[in-house]
Amino acid sequence: MGCLHVANLHVALARGKFRDCVLDVPLQALSMLRSMSVPLSQAQDQVCFKPEWRSEVLSSSTIPCQGHLGCVCNEFLGDQLRRKKSDIRGFYIQRLPLVSISEPLYRELKVRVRRTQGQIVYKRLKERTDQYDTRGLVRREESKEKIGGADDVFVGDVRDVESIIPAIQGIDSLIILTSAAPKMKPGFDLGKGGRPEFYFEDGLYPEQVDWIGQKNQIDAAKAAGVKHIVLVGSMGGTNPNHPLNSLGNGNILDWKRKAEQYLADSGVPYTIIRAGGLQDKEGGIRELLVGKDDELLNTETKTVTRDDVAEVSIQALQFEEAKFKAFDLASKPERVGTPTKDFKALFSQITTQF
C-alpha cells in the first residue's frame, strides 16, 4: 500500500469510490462531517492507498474536515466505515520507573493493523532492558496472546481494582493511558451525507473507564508505594463544549480532567501529558512543543505522533524536572525547527502544575 502526502492534494470521496482506500483525517471531522468543506491539503496528514487507486485519489474535489483534535484512519469500504478494536489496556514497568499504559483517547478506524500507544511504549521499554523491567496489563487473554503472551503480561480490568493489584505490586513507576473508545453506530452512509453517531458499550463509558478506571490505578499505585505516575490524556479539557464530549454523550474530556485532578491531589509525584491529535507517523524527527490550558489548539501546531508521545512518557520517568508538572504536547511539522533530543530542557521549561 503506497503513501502520498496531501500537500497540494484534494481528495474526492464519492460513495463507494475509494474501496480499500485509507485516509487519515481528524477525529472531529467524523463527528462534524459536512459542517464545512476545506481542501484536504490543509489537513497535513497522509492519504494511503493501493497503487491501482492512484489515479482516483488525484482529484480536484474536497473532503469535509475540521480541526486537528485527534487523527483516525478511516476505512472506506463502499459506504461503510468499519472499526477494528484493539484491546491493550496497560503496561507496567518494575524496578526503576514502571509504566501502566492503556489505549489513548484516539483509536483508529482502520483497514490495516496499526500500532496502539500501549504497543509502542511496551516495545520501547522492552528494548531498554538495562533500565526497565516491564510488565503489561491487558483486559483479555486473547489480547495477551497478540503481544506475545509473555509471563510479564497480566490480565486485569482497570474498572476492578482488585484485578489490577497483582500487576502493580512491586513497581516503581506507572504510566496511564487508559481511555474509553466510542463506537460508530451502524448504518452511516458517507455518500448520503449527514453526521455519524457514536455510542459506548455498556460498562465502558468514559465515567467507568477514564474516571473510575484511572482512579483505581492511582489508588492501587499509591497503596503499593509507587514513586511516580505519568498520566497521558488529551488536550481540549478546558472546553466543556468540546466536540469530543458529545461523542456518545460520554463527556470523555470532562472525566479525563477529573482523573487528572485526582492524580494531582493524590500526593504521588506525577506528570500529566495532554497530547494533541495523534498521528501514526515516524517520531523523533520533529521539534516538540509544550503548552498549557489548550493554548496550542488555537495554533497550527496541535498534533503529535504516537511515537513522540511514547518517548515523552518514558523520558518523564527519567527526570526530576518532569515531576509535579502538567502540560499540553504537540509538535512542529517535519523539517520545521530542530528535532527535540534534550528532554530535560523540555521538561524544565514547563511551569504549570495543573
Write out pLDDT tens, residues 143-192.
Answer: 788 777 788 889 999 999 999 999 999 999 999 988 898 999 988 777 77
| Alpha helices, H only, 231-339 | 243-246, 252-264, 306-315
Q: Tell me the backbone φ, ψ of residue 3, rounded to 5 degrees.
A: -130, 140
Query: Angle 248-251-256 (CA atoms, 0-180°, nearest 5)?
Result: 130
Residues in the chain: 354
Which of 31, 143, 234, 313 is labelled catalytic?
Answer: 234
Q: What's the pLDDT tens digit per position in 85-143?
A: 333 333 333 333 344 433 333 222 222 334 678 888 888 998 998 899 888 888 888 87
Give dist(CA 70, CA 271) in Å, integer: 21
Could you tell me the three cell numbers for 312? 515523552
Is 234 a known active-site residue? yes
The correct CATH number of 88-348 out of 3.40.50.720, 3.20.10.10, 3.40.50.2000, 3.40.1170.60 is 3.40.50.720
Q: What are the residue ranges of CATH 3.40.50.720 in the chain?
A: 88-348
Q: CA neighbours within 13 Å on the CB side: how many for 129?
A: 2
Q: Tell me the backbone φ, ψ of residue 25, rounded to 5 degrees.
A: -140, 165
Question: 3-class DSSP state for residue 260?
Answer: helix
Q: What's the pLDDT tens digit per position in 215-252?
A: 999 999 999 999 999 999 999 999 999 999 999 999 99
Q: Helices 117-126 and 306-315: crossing angle, nearest 10°?
A: 50
Q: For the chain, what is the mean pLDDT? A: 73
Give dist(CA 314, CA 323) in Å, integer: 13
